[in-house]
Amino acid sequence: MRLHWLEPLRVEQLANGLRVLLLPDRTYPVGALVVYYGVGARDERPGETGFAHLFEHMMFQASTHVGKNEFFRHIESHGGTFNGNTTHDRTVYYEVLPASQLPLALWLESDRMRGLAVTQEHLDNQRDTVKEERRFRYDNQPYMQAWIRFGEMAYRNFANAHPVIGYYEDLDQASLESVYDFFRRYYRPNRAVLVVAGDLDPETALAWIRYYFEDIEPGPEVPPPDLTEPEPPVGMRDRWIDSNARFPALWVGGRIPPWGHPDFYALWLLHYVLFEGRASRLYRTWVQERARCLEFYSIWDGRRGPGTMSGLIIVPSDADPETWPDRFHTEVLAPPVSDEELERARALWVRRQWTRWQEVLERALDVGEAALLDGDPRAVERDAVGITAVRRSDVERVRETYLAPDRAIVLWIEPGCQSASSRGGAFR
């Protein structure tokens, strides 16, 4: 499958290793600038958890020519928006603004790549910000500490298992020296991909990029992390007491192979079959037919290393923790996938993906991530090709293999007044 919006893509590389992607679209006078850095939670060493996410915040502080809070003012005063996010695989920053202001965004990004102000003051205040974010998003939200525990159960390798948000003790003990060393290792042009998309002339945009970025010194070569896990995955069951939860819940799923693996796309569509939307199997079976589920959420955590697919299923107060996980397997996971279920899942995936690609920012994000993690920006087409090629026999094979009971990750969550960090032993 050819993506026509990819046809004008131009790829360059500067002498310092910075990879540059230019993606013109003259439809609207809007531009998007995206910078991906090859650093995520998987690159953190023991004792460094949360560093990549910490720098997602630190990068919005000051740099050589941009004072504290001035980054926000520069973008917003010209009608733009900005943000960033961190995953296990990478960190990304982006701005969307009138196309005439793309040089402003290039200057801002180059200034913090060249000379971020890594100071004790900025470390202290952003460390507090990240800890408060963890309290707000995880510690004080029902079922979210259980999500961290689910990740710890799914993996045996530290690089995969620890959460992006990090652990308090590592954030508390982070020294200015260790944090600056992390910046020096990873936030360099030779570990970055820069995407400029939208209403632009490629030659003019490339000249601006060379002006702002070409003399930034590259960083050291850093070997990729070891992401290997024991194969086949071994299932695990545990209990968690959640003081924020009003109802018990079942967090259930399994480990999946890396992005690009032959089974990856069949599992992606199986995730849609099971969990996505009111026509999903979980909704039809456990909400409409048997009334076993009060509410549910799903997470597709596809990575360039091993990932997970899972669902959080909130159940009635009288649900039996000894029998309901097996009921879920028998009633939801075990029945074969029908042709109708597969085609609904495929249509939903296609609709969501093509809706995303109507926005210039989403296109820029996808080609940038493909360039950074796959080595080829046009690998973004691989998803569409892979989803189209999946057959029902593929989905049946991965369902029987990856969601077998001996591979399942099952975490039963009990509401309670005890500390949310306490948990019981395994159950069978």
The tens digit of pLDDT for each residue in 349-363 reads 999 999 999 999 999
Q: Which amino acid is at 18?
A: L
- The answer on 50 and 142 residing in a single domain is yes
Of 180, 213, 246, which marks where a domain is finished? 213
Residue 168 lies in a domain: yes
Output the six-digit token pair for 367: 């080609």
Residue 378 lies in a domain: yes
pLDDT > 70 in the chain, percent: 97
Residue 143 lies in a domain: yes
Mean pLDDT of 9-13: 98
Nearest-angstrom CA–CA distance, 332 and 225: 36
- The answer on 277 and 193 residing in a single domain is no
Of 149, 180, 213, which marks where a domain is finished? 213
The angle at the Cα of 147, spanning 371 to 314, to the nearest 5 degrees, equals: 125
- The answer on 191 and 43 residing in a single domain is yes
State yes or no: pLDDT of 403 exceeds 50: yes
State yes or no: pLDDT of 164 exceeds 70: yes
State yes or no: pLDDT of 18 exceeds 90: yes
Please give the residue range of the domain that contains residue 329.
Answer: 236-415
Residue range 192-225, pLDDT digits in tens: 999 999 999 999 999 999 999 999 999 999 999 9
Domain count for the chain, please give it: 2
- What value does the mean pLDDT of the chain take? 94
Give the Cβ contact number of residue 246 at 10 Å.
Answer: 11
Q: What phi and psi, each to the nearest 5 degrees, are found at residue 14?
A: -80, 165
Residue 248 lies in a domain: yes
State yes or no: pLDDT of 420 exceeds 80: no
Task: Give the model's pLDDT for residue 24.
Answer: 97
- The answer on 384 and 271 residing in a single domain is yes
> In three state form, how does the secondary structure of the chain look?
CCCHHHCCCEEEECCCCCEEEEEECCCCCEEEEEEEECCCHHHCCCCCCCHHHHHHHHCCCCECCECCCHHHHHHHCCCCEEEEEECCCCEEEEEEEEHHHHHHHHHHHHHHHHHECCCHHHHHHHHHHHHHHHHHHHHCCCCHHHHHHHHHHHCCCHHHHCCCCCCHHHHHHCCHHHHHHHHHHHCCHHHEEEEEEECCCHHHHHHHHHHHHCCCCCCCCCCCCCCCCCCCCCCEEEEEEECCCCCCEEEEEEEECCCCCCCHHHHHHHHHHHHCCCCCHHHHHHHHHCCCCCEEEEEEECCCCCEEEEEEEECCCCCCCCCHHHHHHHHHHCCCCCHHHHHHHHHHHHHHHHHHCCCHHHHHHHHHHHHHHHCCHHHHHHHHHHHHHCCHHHHHHHHHHHCCHHHCEEEEEEECCCCCCCCCCCCC
- The answer on 46 and 12 residing in a single domain is yes
Task: Give the model's pLDDT for residue 70.
Answer: 94
Residue 223 lies in a domain: no
- The answer on 252 and 188 residing in a single domain is no
Give residue 1's pLDDT band: very low, low, confident or very high (50, 70, 90).
low
Residue range 293-344, pLDDT digits in tens: 999 999 999 999 999 999 999 999 999 999 999 999 999 999 999 999 999 9
* Residue pair 87/37 in contact by the 8 Å Cβ criterion: no
Residue 68 lies in a domain: yes
Residue 315 lies in a domain: yes
State yes or no: pLDDT of 102 exceeds 90: yes
Residue 64 lies in a domain: yes
* Residue pair 219/387 in contact by the 8 Å Cβ criterion: no
Task: Give the model's pLDDT for residue 21.
Answer: 98
HSE-CB at 314 with a 13 A cutoff on CA atoms is: 12
Q: What phi-psi label fits residue 44: left (phi over 0), alpha (psi between -120 and 50 degrees) or beta? A: beta
- The answer on 115 and 264 residing in a single domain is no
Task: Give the model's pLDDT for residue 69.
Answer: 86
Sheet with 249-256, side-by-side order of all strands: 236-242, 409-415, 249-256, 307-314, 295-301
Mean pLDDT of 130-148: 95
Measured CA to CA in angstroms, residue 325 lies from 343, 388, 408 at distances of: 28, 32, 10
Residue range 56-94, pLDDT digits in tens: 999 999 999 999 989 999 999 999 999 999 999 999 999
Nearest-angstrom CA–CA distance, 119 and 217: 20
Task: Give the model's pLDDT for residue 233.
Answer: 85
Read off the CATH number of the domain in which 199 is found.
3.30.830.10
- The answer on 313 and 190 residing in a single domain is no
Mean pLDDT of 232-243: 92
- The answer on 166 and 116 residing in a single domain is yes
- The answer on 283 and 248 residing in a single domain is yes
pTM, full prediction: 0.93
State yes or no: pLDDT of 282 exceeds 80: yes
- The answer on 134 and 14 residing in a single domain is yes
- The answer on 378 and 284 residing in a single domain is yes
